[in-house]
């Protein structure tokens, strides 16, 4: 069951072409809600909105937003032209997209003729908060590098929810976005990670691709019960297509949960048990006590035998990230509160840039 209530729009908080943040009144109490324009049309003050209130009812991490199911005062909409691939299939919320690879697409032949990623570096993350430090480091090293962001369906499905992506596009720091699986709303939509990677190289013509989920993550505190497990499948897909997978580790010494101390159990599970092929793994050279803790974690796994681990000096990563104008936050913590997390991710991106011009690094694949 889902929580459904009717609210009245009383104030527009923020709006752009893709979504509207609106204040709604329900039983004399005000709440924030998000309307996706391409799903439920436009919203005006005074409209009565049918709202999905489930996440707020459960106090889940959606930022305290309800989501508009339908505008009861503007219920009719016409379907847009083109495309026939459905996302959120066989649910009341299914929507049509014009997938880049489908038969009617001008790019259809691109996918049929594809041969290889030709050693294109692909940085594979597990959290949406990894995106800003990756972009910051890549652009610091070379502002001319073309970056494609592939958003999986491991968390938020509409890319419009991401304020990070919106700002990166406004600042022209990424060259294009691709949504795969049941995620939707990218500059290109693709059916799966394989065609998403092909689209990044052959259509967006990127130098480096970044793959990670949108805002949010599902976790259960069990070994295999988290949506970030997809990192393993993505690593394998990159290898299958002839790319260079660089795994961005989730490392923190600020997280109070023991399972996420040092190398998160999420990362350990993916690299130890899930990925079937090799990734290049970057581990920063932290101070001795933290380095020893990380080494002790690795000794209990097959990671050192299975993957190529490169230990990297922190170098200028702290200055680059500290001076960033992008929003660096993860699990409610900013850069200064969780430096190891952001440094680790930034150095994975640095390694991605290094592989572009270093034949020896390419041979590590």
Phi, psi dihedral angles at 297 (to 5 degrees): -65, -45
Task: Name residues whose C-beta falls within 8 Å of residue 108's C-beta, 6 or more positions apart in sequence.
Answer: 101, 102
Q: What is the pLDDT, as a whole number, of residue 59?
A: 82
- pLDDT by residue for the chain (365 residues), tens only, comes to 889 999 999 999 999 999 999 999 999 999 999 999 989 999 999 999 999 999 888 887 656 899 999 999 998 888 788 888 999 999 988 999 999 999 999 999 999 999 999 999 999 999 999 999 999 999 999 999 999 999 999 999 999 999 999 999 999 999 999 999 999 999 999 999 999 999 999 999 999 999 999 999 998 989 999 999 999 999 999 999 999 999 999 999 998 888 889 999 999 999 999 999 999 999 999 999 999 999 999 998 999 999 999 999 999 999 999 999 998 999 889 999 999 999 999 999 999 999 998 767 666 55
| pLDDT confidence of residue 64 | 83
Contact in structure between 147 and 356 (CB atoms under 8 Å): no
Which pair of structure tokens corresponds to residue 64?
Answer: 């305290």
Cβ neighbours of residue 199 closer than 8 Å, sequence gap 6 or more:
100, 101, 107, 110, 111, 148, 178, 188, 190
- Give the separation between CA 145 and CA 162, rounded to whole angstroms: 22
**Global model pTM greater than 0.85:** yes
Token readout for 77 is 């909409």
Whether the Cβ atoms of residue 33 and residue 15 lie closer than 8 Å to each other: no
Can you give the pLDDT at residue 255?
Answer: 87
3-state secondary structure of 355: helix
Residue appearing with tokens 């702290």: 318
Q: What pLDDT score was predicted for residue 363?
A: 61
- Find out whether 135 and 326 touch, Cβ atoms under 8 Å: yes
């Amino acid at each position: 069951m889902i929580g459904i209530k009717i609210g009245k729009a009383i104030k527009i908080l923020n709006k752009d072409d893709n979504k509207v943040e609106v204040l709604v009144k329900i039983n004399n109490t005000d709440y924030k809600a998000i309307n996706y324009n391409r799903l439920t049309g436009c919203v005006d003050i005074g409209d009565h909105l049918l709202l999905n209130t489930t996440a707020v009812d459960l106090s889940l991490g959606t930022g305290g937003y309800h989501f508009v199911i339908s505008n009861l005062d503007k219920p009719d909409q016409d379907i847009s032209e083109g495309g026939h691939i459905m996302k959120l299939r066989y649910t009341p919320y299914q929507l049509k997209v014009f997938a880049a690879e489908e038969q009617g697409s001008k790019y259809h032949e691109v996918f049929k003729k594809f041969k290889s990623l030709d050693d294109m570096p692909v940085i594979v993350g597990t959290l949406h908060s990894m995106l800003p430090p990756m972009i910051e480091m890549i652009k610091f090293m070379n502002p001319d590098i073309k970056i494609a962001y592939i958003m999986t369906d491991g968390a938020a499905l509409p890319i419009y929810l991401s304020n990070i992506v919106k700002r990166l596009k406004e600042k022209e720091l990424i060259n294009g976005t691709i949504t795969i699986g049941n995620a939707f709303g990218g500059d290109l939509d693709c059916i799966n990670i394989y065609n998403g990677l092909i689209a990044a190289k052959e259509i967006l013509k990127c130098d480096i691709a970044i793959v990670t989920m949108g805002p949010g993550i599902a976790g259960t505190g069990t070994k295999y019960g988290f949506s970030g497990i997809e990192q393993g499948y993505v690593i394998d897909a990159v290898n299958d297509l002839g790319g260079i997978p660089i795994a961005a580790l989730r490392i923190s010494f600020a997280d109070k949960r023991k399972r996420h101390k040092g190398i998160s159990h999420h990362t350990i599970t993916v690299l130890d048990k899930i990925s079937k092929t090799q990734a290049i793994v970057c581990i920063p050279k932290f101070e001795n006590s933290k380095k020893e803790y990380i080494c002790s974690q690795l000794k209990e796994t097959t990671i050192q035998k299975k993957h190529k681990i490169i230990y990297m000096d922190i170098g200028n990563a702290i200055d680059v990230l500290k001076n960033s104008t992008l929003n660096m936050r993860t699990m409610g913590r900013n850069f200064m509160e969780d430096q190891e997390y952001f440094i680790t991710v930034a150095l994975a991106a640095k390694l991605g840039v290094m592989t572009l011009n270093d034949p020896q690094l390419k041979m590590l694949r």
